[in-house]
Chain A
């Protein structure tokens, strides 16, 4: 694993993933990708679903990827990497490896659209089949590449272009799908949540290293604040990530062998969700008197879920 001591280093190191890509300034996708694929000394082969990461990093004749990289479509990053992993196994067994003295790790990246929604079947299938790969969901809670439409990862109350706020609408009506738990229910040996926050980037790097050294399908759901569609200043990405954790809107935990849950960070003073919501334009309408009740509902749900995590951890199941 690369010895990196500061977040800035992680944000800028050219290793394996070069700058000069077209992700928006302040986009968290690049930070997460760089951390994940540098969390191992082994070589990596990456597949990426259609989405912001893909369209911004491999525009012919350029590529940001200094590792082997494959993009097929929006819904098949997991199936694609499962094929590559199967080929690795086959060629290794037949003594036809290209680099016999190197280990190769397989990593797939998908947005929340490519993971929670359209690519869910492909991910579930590849996971159930037990391929040895890490899948990382870059969860920015919407279809950002296509202009910020809702996904099943969009939280209640968020304005998106297909769940817009309006005279009679407070934005998204459905609760965010609990994908991390669904992935744990597949019996994956390792599942975790992560954020690129100022306090938690090391947690993310450790989780990536752990996932990559685990044999079998592993999954990391990484919150990826989107400056453009969440409407916050590009320089606030890290702060927003921190607030997601401090308010328990996006708790950091990991689950081993499908059941053993550990909370990786417990805020000393759990901040009210307002602290997180008020920093983002996508929630600004919730602060109108007629929508205030939505914030209360969000708070109740966050409290309930946090309590559930604490009790589950305590119960050791």
Chain B
């Protein structure tokens, strides 16, 4: 039995510490992991918890992230609770196995501390890694601060392990800006947290050797399509469970989460879509813009996958112009948020003027001032009733202005 960890009602935790405590409280049976900045402290904290008897699972310190996710797959198929953490290059190295994990419907939970992808090498935050895993068949939840990193990690287990979902889940937090920034976090005590998540009962565990299970079979053209479609169906139907879990979490903690978060949208003419820690910076910018008479609001998909198309369109139904801020270089296209939100609007017959901004790559600072500029430009579009600004701009980029039309 693991020793209980006495927590104060308010702790000063950074995002990594918050996520590690959530893993500890979930009493994960197997963690297989490999260190990489900025998620390394999660792996180290977990090792310390183990060394001090606060967890009694197995900790497999593998030789690469490819093996980390592979060992997670083996452990989850064997039949117990499994979690890991990674960032950036580590996430990229896992890419192949991410698809194998979700294809086998294994409810692995992974904290991704978002970081840029090389080259050039960079250890700081952006969403390049998260976007890489977009189509891997995982649920991706977003946390904007340490409290949310803790809360989302607890919720992740409950969503992943729900019998109707049975899909792996990532909880994303921005490298350094969340992972290494200490804030007040209100944790649950160990018993309450575990009770919220509940015991895990696996389906078809390999270790139930009296009922052997075959995992990872070959399917060619007769069956592959059906498997993939049913996996997609599980993802598309997971919002019902995510909503339920968020509702239960609110009852327990008073903290309310939504698949689409919004800020001051009720009377807004224009809106920004932004995900991650920049959402909080954008709140400051929105307040300042409103002082200047610009009616602006914010939206954020809390679940990047499954993408909340209809809820997003509903939130934006009275909006005249939208700027989508993507923290990843789209390399020959518009950013992912731009594309998803445009799709959500057009599917619902809405025609807000859409623009795209790329920001914060490799940890580049994005301040409220920068976002205020975006708000002003977006407002120009709303006033003109057509796009008068660039289709795609870059925020706080050095050198001559870069934009595309």
Residues of A that sit less than 8 Å from B by CB: 43-45, 47, 54-55, 58-61, 63, 65-73, 75-76, 79-91, 93-94, 96-99, 102, 104, 121-122, 124-126, 128-129
B343 within 8 A of A: no
Report yes or no: B75 in contact with A84, Cβ–Cβ below 8 A.
yes
Residue of B nearest to A54 (CB): B218
Bound Cα distance A72, B61 (Å): 19
Which residues of B sit under 8 angstroms from A81, Cβ to Cβ?
74
Report yes or no: B74 in contact with A47, Cβ–Cβ below 8 A.
yes
Which residues of A sit under 8 angstroms from B205, Cβ to Cβ?
98
Known: A90-B80, A128-B63. A43 touches B70 (CB 8 A): no
Report yes or no: B71 in contact with A83, Cβ–Cβ below 8 A.
yes
Report yes or no: A79 in contact with B74, Cβ–Cβ below 8 A.
yes
Which residues of A sit under 8 angstroms from B209, Cβ to Cβ?
43-45, 67-68, 98-99, 102, 104
Bound Cα distance A254, B77 (Å): 33
A55 interface neighbour in B75, B100, B210, B218, Cβ under 8 Å: B218
Report yes or no: B214 in contact with A76, Cβ–Cβ below 8 A.
no
Bound Cα distance A272, B29 (Å): 55
Report yes or no: A91 in contact with B29, Cβ–Cβ below 8 A.
yes
Report yes or no: A79 in contact with B216, Cβ–Cβ below 8 A.
no
Bound Cα distance A90, B202 (Å): 15
Report yes or no: A58 in contact with B73, Cβ–Cβ below 8 A.
no
Report yes or no: A45 in contact with B64, Cβ–Cβ below 8 A.
no
Q: Which of B52-60, B138-146, B364-372 contacts A (4 or more CB under 8 A)?
A: B52-60
Which residues of B sit under 8 angstroms from A86, Cβ to Cβ?
30, 32, 58, 60, 71, 74-75
CB distance from B112 to the nearest CB of A (A): 19
CB distance from A244 to the nearest CB of B (A): 30
Report yes or no: A72 in contact with B79, Cβ–Cβ below 8 A.
no
Report yes or no: B66 in contact with A87, Cβ–Cβ below 8 A.
no
CB distance from B89 to the nearest CB of A (A): 16
Dominant SS at the A interface?
mixed
Report yes or no: A84 in contact with B206, Cβ–Cβ below 8 A.
yes
Known: A87-B58, A121-B63. A70 touches B215 (CB 8 A): yes
Report yes or no: A90 in contact with B70, Cβ–Cβ below 8 A.
no
Question: 1/0 per residue B53-95: CB within 8 Å of A?
Answer: 0001110111110111011111111111010000000000000
CB distance from B391 to the nearest CB of A (A): 40
B223 within 8 A of A: yes
Known: A60-B223, A68-B212, A90-B57. A98 touches B66 (CB 8 A): no
Taking A68-B215, A87-B80, A104-B209 as given, write out 5 further A-B residue pairs in contact, using a Cβ cutoff of 8 Å, ordered by the A residue number: A80-B70, A82-B67, A83-B70, A85-B74, A129-B62
Report yes or no: B58 in contact with A89, Cβ–Cβ below 8 A.
yes
CB contacts under 8 Å to A, within B348-366, are none
> Most A CB atoms within 10 A — which of B64, B76, B77, B219?
B77
Residue of A nearest to B202 (CB): A98
30 contacts between A and B (CB under 8 A): A55-B218, A58-B218, A59-B219, A68-B207, A68-B214, A70-B74, A70-B216, A72-B70, A73-B96, A79-B67, A79-B70, A79-B71, A80-B77, A82-B32, A83-B72, A83-B82, A86-B71, A87-B58, A87-B78, A90-B29, A90-B56, A90-B80, A91-B207, A93-B56, A98-B79, A104-B207, A121-B64, A121-B67, A125-B62, A128-B63
Which residues of A sit under 8 angstroms from B77, Cβ to Cβ?
70, 80, 84
Report yes or no: A83 in contact with B63, Cβ–Cβ below 8 A.
no
Bound Cα distance A61, B205 (Å): 18
Residue of A nearest to B96 (CB): A73
Question: 1/0 per residue B183-216: CB within 8 Å of A?
Answer: 0000000000000000000000111111011111
CB distance from B94 to the nearest CB of A (A): 11
Report yes or no: A83 in contact with B214, Cβ–Cβ below 8 A.
no
Known: A58-B218, A65-B214, A80-B71. A125 touches B29 (CB 8 A): no
Known: A80-B73, A83-B73, A99-B208. A45 touches B78 (CB 8 A): yes
Known: A45-B78, A79-B70. A88 touches B207 (CB 8 A): yes
> Most B CB atoms within 10 A — which of A87, A98, A102?
A87
A79 interface neighbour in B58, B66, B78, B79, Cβ under 8 Å: B66
Bound Cα distance A311, B96 (Å): 45
Report yes or no: B67 in contact with A60, Cβ–Cβ below 8 A.
no
Which residues of B sit under 8 angstroms from A99, Cβ to Cβ?
207-210
Bound Cα distance A229, B30 (Å): 41
Report yes or no: B71 in contact with A71, Cβ–Cβ below 8 A.
no
CB distance from B157 to the nearest CB of A (A): 16
Residue of A nearest to B59 (CB): A86
Report yes or no: B208 in contact with A58, Cβ–Cβ below 8 A.
no
Bound Cα distance A55, B217 (Å): 8
Report yes or no: B32 in contact with A84, Cβ–Cβ below 8 A.
no
CB distance from B204 to the nearest CB of A (A): 9
Which residues of B sit under 8 angstroms from A98, Cβ to Cβ?
79, 205, 207-210
Known: A83-B78, A129-B62. A71 touches B70 (CB 8 A): no
Bound Cα distance A87, B72 (Å): 9
B97 within 8 A of A: yes
Bound Cα distance A54, B74 (Å): 16
